Amino acid sequence: MHIPTCESSLLDIVGFDEALAASGGRGDYDSDKWLYVPDYYTDYRYILGTRGNNPLICIGINPSTAAPDDLDNTLKSVARIAAGNGYDSWIMFNVYAQRATDPDDMDEALNEKLHRENMRAFEYILKNVGEGVSPAIWAAWGTIIEKRPYLKDCVLDMVRLGREYNAKWYSAGKRSVKGHPHHPLYLRKDAPTEEFDIVSYLENCL
Distance CA 65, CA 60 (A): 13
What is the mean pLDDT for each group of 10 consecutive residues in the chain (206 residues)?
88 97 92 96 97 97 94 95 96 97 94 98 96 95 95 97 97 94 90 96 88
pLDDT at 46: 98
3-state secondary structure of 170: strand
- Peptide bond preceding 68: is omega within 30 degrees of 0, i.e. cis? no
The predicted-structure confidence for 131-149, as pLDDT tens digits, reads as follows: 889 999 999 999 999 999 9
pTM higher than 0.75: yes
Q: What does the pLDDT read at residue 175? A: 93
pLDDT for residue 155: 98
Q: What pLDDT does 186 receive?
A: 85
According to the model, what pLDDT value does residue 189 have?
Answer: 83
pLDDT score of 205:
81
Count CA within 13 A, CB hemisphere, residue 17. Answer: 2
Going across the sheet that includes 55-60, the strands are 34-37, 47-50, 89-94, 55-60, 136-139, 168-172, 193-195
Q: What is the pLDDT of residue 5?
A: 87
Handedness of CA 175, 125, 129, 79 (dihedral sign): negative
